[in-house]
Amino acid sequence: MECKASVNGFRKTLSHAVDHCGPTAKRISLKAISGLPSASQIFQDSCLKLQRATKAVFLSEPVESTLEELYRNVEDICAQKMIMELYSSLKAIFSEYVAGLQPEFLKVGFQLSAVAHCWGLYCKKMLLIRNIFLFMDRQLLQLNPQNLQIWDLALKLFREDVITQEKVQSRLMCQILDEIHKERCGEAIDRQLLRTVIRMLVDLKLYDSIFLAEFVCKSQQLYAYEADTLSRQLSVPEYLLHVDKRIIEEEDRLVVYLDANSTRSLLMSTLVSELLTRPLDYLLDNGLVNPLKTKQTSQLSLLFSLVSRVPNGIEKLRTHFRNYIIQMGREMVENPTHDPEKDRNMIQNLLDSRDFLSEITVSCFSNDASFMRVLQEAYEEFINQRPNKPAEFLAKYLDSHLRSGNKAQTEEELDKLMDKAMILFRFIDGKDIFEAFYTKELAKRLLLNKSASVDAEKAMLSKLKQECGPNYTRKMETMFQDIELSKQLSKNFRLSLPDTHAIELSVNVICPASWPPYPQTTANYPPEMVALREEFTRFYLSHHQGRKLIYEPSLGTCVVKAIFPMTPNLRKELQVSELQALVLLQFNQSDNAPITYTTIAENTGIEEKELKRTLLSLAAGKGQRVLKKTPGNLEIENDHQFVFNTEFHHRLTRIKFNQVQLKETEQEQVATEERVFADRVAHVDCCIVRIMKTRKTIDHNSLLSEVYKQLQFPLKASDVKKRIENLIERDYMKRDSSNAATYHYVS
């Protein structure tokens, strides 16, 4: 026998149990238990219990059941495959609760603190509810990936039914933007409160859609107003400090309460556009030159930092920087008033300025290589605006530091100075002008033994050779060789003389082809000096047959021993030029009688102009007036008289006298330049012939290009054209019969 019973709504089939152990079988009857709840009833009971718990959480009331019981209820419902029914029920409760929140937001006195408080409670309640329904929450996505989990559902409802409602949204945005504006104006605000509210917008995915655009718009309006007003009210340094302060403040807001990821780019581009890009030309016109002139490095660093934020700002800054350097350089180089003091200080000013500008480039302009290039290009442009003079003064500047008597610099400092001078040298087009004047001054230092350091001289020579090649320094190297050979020659000559010889003679024998030309000076020597000079001539010619010696007194020096009445027991040594020595020997008389200019001229045989300069150096030089002149002015007439100064005294035993006759005159400068120009003509001719010999046939433009490339001095196309015509006349080259712009080499 079998019976059917229904248990909990499910039908079960049970088999009869037949006992075959006894003689008779017993029949057992099973009856279904009545009153068990159905599955629908269980769902309804569990769902009701969960609804009451959810509402209690929303109302902040005690929950009757434990969290464990509620969690099991959710599991039971999910086991009955009724997840979506439970989810729909929960969603309805959420919607009902959220709908009731909107009036709270619109109460009179709507405040951010109330919003933050409400949002905080809402999040806590939703997190608790999610913990209750956690099992269901995990199953939702498995059923359908489109289902919103509890937390996402809570955010969606709060976003759509509360925050994005027109009245709530407008009041909320107004409150947030008003707080930010207050802080920008210097008022203290509750930043943590603002952070909470803005984070709410981020969590609700409303930050970009309802806040960011309006926030950026308000920022743009504020900064546009500040750009218009403050750029007129403040000085440029003050304005830049204000902009920098604004940037720091906005960066701080991005860290503290704004969403940096989505805001930084828009906010900073707006700030830069209004506060920097719009007034950029004004800021550069009025904010660069003065800090450069007054060496305000902090202002320059700030300017670079801010301008670098502007699109193409660095390029504009470079242009203004370049224009300033060119203008500054022209003011240093040009000398329309012919102020000699300005010319004397030109090179030092250029070096000092370049040092400062290089330092600015490194420390203030972030060591930007493009600014260093601009610095180089600007120097090269302005330094050649005044042809020849910078080259001349650079040579004389180096001479002033390489001459003996310059004790202020160590060898290391002197080497650094030469390196800096070489930087200017690279900018100069007229390197042949530099070579002419440098060689001339080098000759004086070598012949008069005025070099402060032979090592420094050779170091400078090495730098020039490295820069311009061996041809550039060949003559200078020969000059050093002549001096070295002359030292050995003089030593050998002195060894050949008797020990009793009263005068010690050293002679520099130089090759005229490698040394600058000097105007020959005549002079009458005392018999003792004439005899010694003739003896040296015989000695030299005995070792170098077929040569001829020409003595040049203007380049000689002497040490004359003298006793003055003011210091009778102390013999002084006067270090003078050879011509000064010849003049002093005229006063080597016991009666100390006055001697007229005419007498001195007849006795010494020195040319008039040179003699007058020599006499003035002995009678009018400060601290070295060993002669007295009557009358006591600076003009010298034939009847003016000179007498030995018996009152002369000096604290030093060895006294160096200024050698006025060695100072370069304007005529000598012109002569040096003319000699360079004449050499240029020869160089151009040689260059053209060399090119023609190599190329055989070449067009005019290509020839010009090759000439410019090979020569190291500035040259005009018209000058080259003249030399081409001259070479054609001299049959070194000829024009093509069918094309006048093409040349052929004539072998």
Task: State yes or no: pLDDT of 220 exceeds 80.
Answer: yes
Any idea which of 236-245, 312-321, 405-414, 565-574 has the lowest mean pLDDT?
405-414
Sign of CA dihedral 91, 92, 96, 99: positive
Cα-to-chain-centroid distance, residue 577: 49
Block residue for tokens 């302009």: 365
Tokens standing for residue 678: 């004449």
| Mean predicted confidence (pLDDT) in 356-373 | 94
Q: Is 404 left (phi over 0), alpha (psi -120 to 50) or beta?
A: beta
Strand partners, 641: 596, 630
Nearest to 579 by CA among 506, 657, 685: 657
Report the interhelical angle of 389-402 vs 431-447 (nearest 10°): 30
Res 408 pLDDT > 90: no
CA–CA gap between residue 67 and residue 50 (Å, rounded): 10
- Residue 406 DSSP one-character state: -
* Of the listed ranges 315-319, 655-659, 741-745, the one predicted with least confidence: 655-659
Cα-based torsion angle of the residue sequence 567, 573, 576, 579 in order, rounded to the nearest 10 degrees: 80
Strands 627-630 and 595-596: unpaired
The answer, yes or no, to whether residue 277 has pLDDT greater than 80, is yes
Farthest-apart Cα atoms in the chain, separation: 186
Average pLDDT over residues 89-106: 86
Angle at 306 (CA atoms; ends 300, 312), nearest 5 degrees: 105
Give the lowest-confidence range in 200-209, 267-276, 485-494. 485-494
Q: For each of the domains in the chain, give its residue range(s) and CATH number, in order of start.
A: 39-163 (1.20.1310.10), 170-278 (1.20.1310.10), 554-663 (3.30.230.130), 667-745 (1.10.10.10)
User: What span, in angstroms and rounded, lies between the C-alpha atoms of 104 and 110?
Assistant: 9
pLDDT in tens, 708-719: 888 867 777 888
| Residue-level pLDDT at 38 | 58
| C-alpha closest to that of 373 among 358, 363, 383, 392 | 358
User: Measured between alpha carbons, how far is 356 from 124 in angstroms, rounded to an integer?
Assistant: 63
The pTM score is: 0.75
Residue 100: φ, ψ to 5°: -80, -10
Assigned token pair, 114: 């109330």
Question: b/e map of 360-397 (b: 16 or more CB within 10 Å)?
Answer: bbeebbeebeebeebbbebbeebbbebebbbbbbbbbb
> What percent of the chain shows pLDDT beyond 90?
46
Strand-pair partners of 656 = 575
The average pLDDT across 256-276 equals 96
Q: Is the pLDDT of residue 560 over 70?
A: yes
Taking alpha carbons only, the member of 247, 252, 136 closest to residue 191 is: 252
The predicted pLDDT at position 420 comes to 94
CB burial class (10 A; 0-12, 13-18, 19+) of residue 175?
A: middle
pLDDT at site 3 = 33
Nearest to 418 by CA among 461, 364, 360: 461
pLDDT of residue 500: 65
Q: Which two tokens stand for residue 483?
A: 């001096």
Separation CA 730–CA 386 (nearest Å)? 34
> Which is more confident, 587 or 244?
244
Q: Are 399 and 445 in contact (CB under 8 A)?
A: yes
Owner of token pair 């729909």: 88
pLDDT digits (tens, 9 = 90+) for 681-691: 888 888 899 99
pLDDT at 486: 92
Return the number of other C-beta atoms located less than 10 Å from residue 529's C-beta: 18
Q: What is the mean pLDDT of the chain?
A: 86
Q: What are phi and psi of 429, to 5 degrees?
A: -75, -40
Residue type, position 689, single letter: V
Which H or E run contains 307?
A: helix 297-307
Q: Cα 313 from chain centroid?
A: 15
Tell me what pLDDT residue 30 has.
44
Give dist(CA 672, CA 516) in Å, integer: 9
Which residues lie closer than 8 Å to 75 by C-beta, 6 or more apart? 135
Q: How far apart are CA 100 and CA 57, in angstroms?
A: 15
Q: Both ends of the chain: CA-CA distance in Å?
A: 141
DSSP 225-266: HHHHHHHHHS-HHHHHHHHHHHHHHHHHHHHHTS-HHHHHHH
Express as a percent the part of the chain with pLDDT over 70: 91
Could you give phi then psi for residue 573, rounded to 5 degrees? Answer: -115, 120
Answer yes or no: are the C-beta atoms of 49 and 73 closer than 8 Å. yes
Lowest mean pLDDT among 104-113, 273-282, 428-437: 104-113
Write out the two tokens for 590: 């016991």
pLDDT at 248 over 80: yes
Confidence band of 278 (pLDDT split at 50, 70, 90): very high
